[in-house]
Amino acid sequence: MGKIAVVTDSNSGITQEKGKELGVHVIPMPFYIDGELFLEDITLTQEAFYEKLASDCEISTSQPAPGEVMEFWDKLLKEYDEIVHIPMSSGLSSTCETAIMLSKDYDGKVEVVNNQRISVTQKTSVLDAVRLAKAGKSALEIKESLEAEKLEASIYITVDTLKYLKKGGRITPAAATIGTVLNLKPVLQIQGEKLDAFAKVRGWKQAKKTMLDAMEKDLLHRFGGKKMSLLAAYTCSAEEAKSWKEELEDRFPNYTIDMDPLSLSVACHIGPGALAVACAKEVDL
């Protein structure tokens, strides 16, 4: 059995420290803030990111430089026989496409997974990959197992402010103004490869109810009978996040809920104060 390295990027929400605990190698995602380069969880903490966001700094996401990705892989291949690389969804970034192109120079030693995941659902895929590697699967077998489940996940997000959706061009300035006056809260969804509008409701309480109802429907009907992980994420305060987790535990008492901050690449587009709930099918060994 070959020795497999599991690689992901910081979009998964896995920190460098957590990666070491899990035996996962994490490539930090680059951000440009007022023209200066920062690396997630290396030179850019969650706290610093939100401070800069609140200060109206110009923030843009980027992808790791191809040369740096190859250098990362080359270093690992001195110690491992194969690499399974799990980047964020190809529908949300060109990171995945670039990695697939680069992997063609590695004679099958690097397998890039394109399973349309981001943030907490991407993290689930990484944990599945670790389990599969421990069970003796090859990098190709792990890739095939993860891609076979690529549509077996769902994320719902609600935002506290329309400012960042307006800034990113996802809603018009007029719609943002009307929405703010009427206290409209959009509920967004990620199903597969895109971030789309799901519903518009009045107030925070109704937004949370809409997400809970949508998730219950998915678990009962869309994924009925399948073994699912239930996940929560946030860009809000720790107190609000704790309260959200408690609401989820009340609504879904048969699930253990894993909660993490939303990755900065998503937070960048939706701003602070957001809440999310997600589920992902657990891969069979």
The closest alpha carbon to 214, from 263, 275, 280, 278, belongs to 278
Q: What is the dihedral of CA 199, 262, 74, 33, to 10 degrees?
A: 100
Inter-residue contact 87 to 11 (CB < 8 Å): yes
pLDDT for the residue 92 = 67
* pLDDT for residue 169 is more than 70: no
Give percent of the chain with pLDDT exceeding 90: 73
Q: What is the pTM of this model?
A: 0.92
Judged against a pLDDT cut of 90, whether residue 171 lies above it is answered with no
Q: What is the pLDDT of residue 263?
A: 85
User: For 123-132, what is the mean pLDDT?
Assistant: 97
Domains of the chain: 4-29+64-148 (3.40.50.10440), 32-63 (no CATH), 153-281 (3.30.1180.10)
d(CA 232, CA 47): 19
Residue 1: its pLDDT value, please? 58
77-106: average pLDDT? 91
Confidence of residue 237 (pLDDT cuts 50, 70, 90): confident
Tens-place pLDDT, residues 133-165: 999 999 999 999 999 998 899 999 999 888 887
**pLDDT the model gives residue 125:** 96
CA distance 156 to 207: 10
- Please provide the average confidence, as pLDDT, over all residues in the chain: 91
The model's pLDDT over 31-65, given as tens digits with 9 standing for 90+, comes to: 999 999 999 999 999 999 999 998 989 998 899 99
pLDDT of residue 110: 98
Q: For 182-193, what is the mean pLDDT?
A: 83
Query: What pLDDT band is residue 266 in, cutting at 50, 70 and 90?
Result: confident
